[in-house]
Structure 1
Amino acid sequence: MATSTRLVGRIKFDGELLKNDLKVLSELPSIKEQYDEFGSGTWINHSLYNKSGEWKDTVFTDINHPAIQTEVGAAMPYLSRIIEEYFDTDHISMARVRNLIDGLVIPHTDFLELSKEKAQYVRILIPLETCIDSYHSEEKFGVFRMRKGDIWILESTVPHSAINLTSDNRRILSLDFRYADVENPHYSLIFKDRSIHDETVEPAVVSRTPIESEDLQDYLEQLSERFHDKDDAEQILVKLSQIQLRFDSPVSDIYKNLSEVAKLTQREDLVEHCEKMRTFYIGSRAMNERFPLRKGLF
């Protein structure tokens, strides 16, 4: 399946109906994020459709049947209608609303755990509520903003990340599709209503400038002075992700620079920790493998 990152359409939402649905999420009790190590700051996921039908279940798994609507999905009639009328629900394996507030989705690669053919999978992201200072970045596409109603296909099998620099909600509808029963599937199969499929919509790509190697080295040395133990790695990763928004470099360079910061400390334990981070997030990992990024995770 050709799933390189691209903007493939736009939905014009009914503002009041969408606002009523999103209020449901705001009133839900807090639950533990099952992928805690993939987020820094506030990162909240709510399942609308999944394998179990339980709204607190946010774990991505393969299923051989259409996803089951959760109690939360049923309480959001407008958004559920959008999903069911516009998209191929027979092949949806999961639908989540993901909120990022003053935080970072740790740079990572998806589906590293899956041994099956990754071409079966396609993930789309549709912003429901956004703010001017929230961004996505992808290894080959660069840095871009997802505007409300944009329909983005994300090539999640390459390093990618997201960041919200504000305390405002950045809610995105994430839909996962799997086409195990279709030979050489094309991403356009996700559309039930093709009226929203429009690849002439121009994306909001962020213009970045090159960074001088001397300037970068000076900044890495400054960061190394703050790197005292393994628990500092997360905030240094956040700082490196922020400069990647403005200066032209691929997502994977964030981990290269993190390792360089660790080497400047002359601490072998920190170098080893950062190399393990790189492997887990963008290299390889086993099914159900976890990473103890912050204190108290285990």
Structure 2
Amino acid sequence: MVATQLAGHVDMDEGKVRDELQVAANFHFSEAYSDYVCGGPWKSCMIWAAGGDAGDGLVTNYDHSKKPSITGYGEQLPYLRQVLEAHFDLEHLNFARLAVIEDSVTFPHRDLLELKDVPADSRNSHRVHIPLVTNDDCFFTEDNIVYRMRPGEVWFFDASKIHGAASLTREPRTHLILDFTDAGRDGLARFPVDPAGSVPKDRIVSREPVSESEREALLGLAGVINMDNFRDIAGIVIKTHYRKDGGDDFVWSTLEEIALRSGNEVVREKIGHLHEFFVIDRSA
């Protein structure tokens, strides 16, 4: 897995992309990973997958022994298929999906934890993000850095590190997400790759520090948190991270402190379980 970085740019016809996303709007989008979000759903639709089967969107539910190929949905998107064929080595492409998020944030998490039992030669090892539709209220985060991706950019993305995504608007954000088997970074692309080595400074969002009064106000949510609203409160904490700098591990440390102060053992156990599941071990 290579470091998260801007790798290059793919010229795409905006009109053709828009037309095909209108076609895709009639597809069935899976919400298999919506447990990862607070707010609206995180939806995805496979256009390339094991056996050419669109499946249910949950990568562990595919037969990884079958050769990946275009799905029925992908067949209906000839321009996006052309983009894939022209710019990437499809021999090593495992999955390609359209991913849509709006008015929602994800819990900070690590991916690939659930793929330990998948054979190494068919396991997702490298991820690429290509924003198709986005706006200035859509963000990613990694290592307490908040940054934006722009349409048409190609990003190598280290999904094994703790990361998250946010759409702080009702405008849908759509990315093309590609997962490759381990071919090495240089074996993935068929276009001029000019990796930045990291997130470029002009993509990083400048945030003021969380003030002590703001931090205490968040911790004061301990007085109202319960199993009916813990996800809403988690969303407030996560959204704060995208607008203010609370330091390393701000989201999980704040949620754990809120749960501890609440005195609600059920909530404390729930937050602890989510932290374990999203960051440490997903086998259970």
TM-score by length of 2: 0.88
1:109 aligns with 2:118: no
Does the CA contact (< 8 Å) of 2:105 and 2:239 recur in 1?
Answer: no
* Aligned pair partner of 1:137 in 137, 141, 153: 141
- Identical positions, percent: 27
Q: Distance in 2 between matches of 1:124 and 1:80?
A: 15
**Amino acid paired to 1:69:** I
Which whole-Å deviations, capped at 9, do the CAs of 1:34-83 have from their partners, x for residues lacking one?
A: 22312331321000001132324312147356422111101000101111
Q: Distance in 2 between matches of 1:58 and 1:190?
A: 23
1:25 aligns with 2:36: no
1:169 aligns with 2:177: no
Alignment partner, residue 7 of structure 2: 8
Does the CA contact (< 8 Å) of 1:139 and 1:250 recur in 2?
Answer: no
1:87 aligns with 2:91: no
Within 5 Å, give how 1:65-214 maps onto structure 2. 66-115=67-116, 121-139=125-143, 142-179=145-182, 186-191=184-189, 193-195=190-192, 197-199=193-195, 202=200, 203-214=202-213
Which whole-Å deviations, capped at 9, do the CAs of 1:73-128 have from their partners, x for residues lacking one?
A: 01000101111110111111100000001112232111112336699701011100
* Aligned pair partner of 1:248 in 230, 240, 245: 245
Shift of 1:213: 4.0
Does the CA contact (< 8 Å) of 1:133 and 1:166 recur in 2?
Answer: yes
Q: Distance in 2 between matches of 1:214 and 1:16?
A: 47
TM-score by length of 1: 0.85
Shift of 1:178: 0.8
Does the CA contact (< 8 Å) of 2:124 and 2:179 recur in 1?
Answer: no
Alignment partner, residue 284 of structure 1: 281
- Secondary structure in 2 matching 1:128: strand
- Secondary structure in 2 matching 1:96: strand
Does the CA contact (< 8 Å) of 2:47 and 2:98 recur in 1?
Answer: yes
Does the CA contact (< 8 Å) of 2:27 and 2:45 recur in 1?
Answer: no
Q: Distance in 2 between matches of 1:7 and 1:251?
A: 23
Q: Residue 284 and residue 213 in structure 1: after superposition, are their counterparts in 2 closer, same or farther (change >3 A)?
A: farther
Stretch of structure 1 that moved more, 247-256 or 162-171: 247-256
- Secondary structure in 2 matching 1:157: coil
CA RMSD of aligned residues (A): 2.3
**Amino acid paired to 1:265:** S
Q: Distance in 2 between matches of 1:113 and 1:252?
A: 22
Stretch of structure 1 that moved more, 200-209 or 18-27: 200-209
Q: Which runs of 5+ in 1 are unaligned?
A: 180-184, 290-298
Does the CA contact (< 8 Å) of 1:144 and 1:206 recur in 2?
Answer: yes
Does the CA contact (< 8 Å) of 2:87 and 2:191 recur in 1?
Answer: yes
Alignment partner, residue 219 of structure 2: 220
Q: Distance in 2 between matches of 1:105 and 1:270?
A: 19
Which whole-Å deviations, capped at 9, do the CAs of 1:243-283 have from their partners, x for residues lacking one?
A: 11122246733111101111121112211111111101111
**Amino acid paired to 2:77:** M
Q: Which runs of 5+ in 2 are unaligned?
A: none
